[in-house]
Structure 1
């Protein structure tokens, strides 16, 4: 049990160290040596957990997806605040994945130059609407979300909005607005249009 906990701690430390570095400097210029040093492990230890930096990022993305999925399950259990909890979960996922504009720009760039990471991102963007499906369907059953649009279409729209806000915020937002604020306002506007 202790050994498993230590392995999980080491893996977590490597991911956190990499994300810290990717948040302040260029992804491609961040070496495995830098990540390993920051995490307090050897390069060999890094390779015991991850084959590449892309795999590390994918693991980080999957962690956030699991947290999001757990939050969707809670939305269904707490029907009274379903729409605000859905909105909060989307905003929190954005905040956790996109801590700085630099990391977001790095991730977007990586998605354009790395076929491996592009494929992994594509999988995540296909999984997200399915995770939201049950919550949206439940919202329709209890009358807080319109039944005029299928749950899958609503989920897909929310993913497209999410991606659009991330790109706009990271490259075009000169006002230096907080990502959470921009995401919250945009998702709130969409949700007001699908209320039942």
Structure 2
């Protein structure tokens, strides 16, 4: 067709034009030349790997060929690149209803990404709570079990540091809380027979994760 001839010339002049390959692939799809369409769309994806629309159109071509599994992979990739990509609005032009499969794929992807932060948070909570309870036990502080209750664990820290309970409210004041947070951990270090400066490390990124464990399990 005339359109294909025009895109042939454009690609000859600029062989690395993702737009020209995409447009020619779209025309090939429209006229039923699916193999040629796949060549151009695959080339487009190679040149522009973040093109959601290229993955979508290649999925459409696969659908027309009855290759539904690979079509689903391309549709899923389009959603991964651009979650707002409205593929569901185009189901009428497809031979196979991908809605349920795409929804399932999206849910599985979300769950897979969402589990690790939750697991990490639980592991940290166990580590922090057990460390604080151990510190309470080694400093003869009562009610060490409340280390496992997040709001009350701050009260326990004040008790270990031998500070009044109302210091909890000082920890709620922006910026000011940093000073009192350091003081509390300096006093906790002192209560464990460690140098004061150990408490200062509680504000050092990454290193601060080790402080509760060190104060809990060192001699």
Q: Same fold (TM over 0.5)?
A: no
TM-score (norm 2): 0.25
Q: Which of 1 and 2 has higher RCO (CA within 8 Å, sep 6+)?
A: 1
Q: Which has the larger radius of gyration?
A: 2
TM-score (norm 1): 0.27
